[in-house]
Amino acid sequence: MKRSEVEKILIQKGYYVDKDGVVHNKDGVIISVNAYKNGYYKFTHRHNDKLLRVKVHRLVAYQKFGDKIYDEKIVVRHMDGNSLNNSHDNINIGTYSDNRMDIKPEIRKKLSKNASDKNKVLNESEIIELQKLYNEGFRMKYLMEKFSIKSKGAYSNYINKKLK
């Protein structure tokens, strides 16, 4: 089953999220939701012997915007930055960039700093030295530690980089 069918299936079955972000089944009974580690409310629903995992914010977005939530490059946004606030007024859709801008500036700056701390950028002389050691047969693990390279992808880019 396609991921995109989950919200449609539940709406067709009569499930809905009220204006305050509370999930109800077709009989109006409140559905229990859980906050997961990634910071979103979810619940499960059995359909055709399959267990569907449903994100509440996506169900709200489907109610408000329909199939637009499945457009390429569109994400569901929490306008106040609180991923547990699924009230109708707080849910919108937009681009990934729009979604990042919903994060409070001080948190965005901290996330940006953490990313740059993790990913050291090598200068040209460091790349030359890295490539020289690589060509001499030094192992990847040693070279990644020596040059503080955190990902194999970045390591590969440096090894294959053509310099002037």
Domain with residue 10: its CATH number is 3.90.75.20
Q: Mean pLDDT lowest for which of 1-10, 11-20, 100-109?
A: 1-10
* 69 lies in the same domain as 16: yes
Last residue of a domain, one of 94, 112, 130: 112
Structural domain of 85: 5-112
Q: How confident is the model at residue 26 (pLDDT cuts 50, 70, 90)?
A: very high
For residues 29-60, one letter each, b for 16 or more C-beta atoms within 10 angstroms of the residue's C-beta and e for the rest, the string is eebebeeeeeebbbbebeeeeeebebbbbbbb
Give the tens place of pLDDT for each residue, 136-147: 889 999 999 999
pLDDT at position 1 is 46
Give the tens place of pLDDT for each residue, 84-122: 999 999 999 999 888 888 888 887 777 766 555 555 789
* 78 lies in the same domain as 144: no
Residue type, 120: K
Domain count, the chain: 2
* 53 lies in the same domain as 68: yes
Helix axis angle, 152-160 to 124-135, nearest 10°: 90
pLDDT at position 161 is 87
* 16 lies in the same domain as 97: yes
* 77 lies in the same domain as 145: no
* pTM recorded for the entire structure: 0.66
* 78 lies in the same domain as 10: yes
**Percent of the chain topping pLDDT 90:** 58
